[in-house]
Amino acid sequence: MAEPKPRILQGNRDMVWSLVILMAICAAFAGIAGLCTFSPSGPQPGPIPEFDAEASLRQDARSLDFAIRSPEVPDGWTSNSGRVESFAGTSSSHVGWVTGERSFVELVQTDAPLEDLRRVGGGPRPSMSMIPVAGREWTVFTGDDARPVWAVDLGDARVAVTGSAATSDLEALAAAVQDAEPLPRER
């Protein structure tokens, strides 16, 4: 006569019930800790972190060895990020804004050669074209899987504009930065 199978090998019903109980316990802990929310209408945009772009650019003007400009951005844009980082063997100033449509634009200022700006934010950008912005020719670097980078040489610095925003927003920032006077280099 054959021996009966051990209980663990008799079916999957016990395993399924064990998993259901464990998932209920995990859900209860996540709910108590406030680590998850339920939103039947989908994700809601959160608040935009606030950042003082003007103060950041003034500090960059004092500490970096090239001209820094602080553009007058359109109403409804909120500055949310800024940093100084190493770029192409030199330093660069980066400031970002969230537009009224909740897209992102970034201003990069550096003394690196214009050609190096095609690598801003990573991604290969093998294509290059020219676009006029308020009387000045901007170089636009593009690639298949990379955001476009608009760049111009202003003589005392190179400037790039990039981001996920619409072309009209990139053009607005480009026009604003090329019209801005360099900030004083007080030390």
For the segment 100-138, what is each residue's pLDDT rounded down to a tens digit? 888 999 999 999 999 999 999 887 799 999 999 999 999
Please determine, for residue 20, whether its predicted confidence score (pLDDT) is greater than 70.
yes
Alpha helices in 64-186 (DSSP H): 167-179
- The pLDDT value given to residue 49: 86
Percent of the chain with pLDDT over 90: 65
For the chain, how many helices (H) and strands (E)?
3, 7
- The pLDDT value given to residue 103: 93
Q: Between residues 98 and 145, which one has the greater pLDDT?
A: 98
* Number of other residues whose CB lies within 10 A of the CB of residue 71: 21
Cα–chain center distance at 151 = 17
Task: Give the residue carrying structure tokens 């093998």.
Answer: 126
pLDDT bracket for residue 42 (50, 70, 90): confident
C-alpha to C-alpha distance for 96 and 113, rounded to whole angstroms: 21
Name which of 30, 101, 11, 60 is nearest 184 in CA terms.
60
pLDDT bracket for residue 45 (50, 70, 90): confident
Residue 174, both tokens: 């480009």
- The pLDDT value given to residue 177: 97
- The pLDDT value given to residue 44: 78
| Secondary structure (H, E, C), 20-38 | HHHHHHHHHHHHHHCCCCC
- The pLDDT value given to residue 8: 64
Give residue-wise pLDDT tens across range 46-65: 788 889 999 999 999 999 99
Residues 6+ apart with CB under 8 A from 159: 69, 107, 108, 109, 151, 152, 177, 178
Cα–chain center distance at 134 = 26
Summarize the confidence of residues 21-38 as an average pLDDT: 83
For residue 162, report the phi and psi dihedrals to the nearest 5 degrees: -150, 175
* Local structure of residue 170 (DSSP, 8 states): H
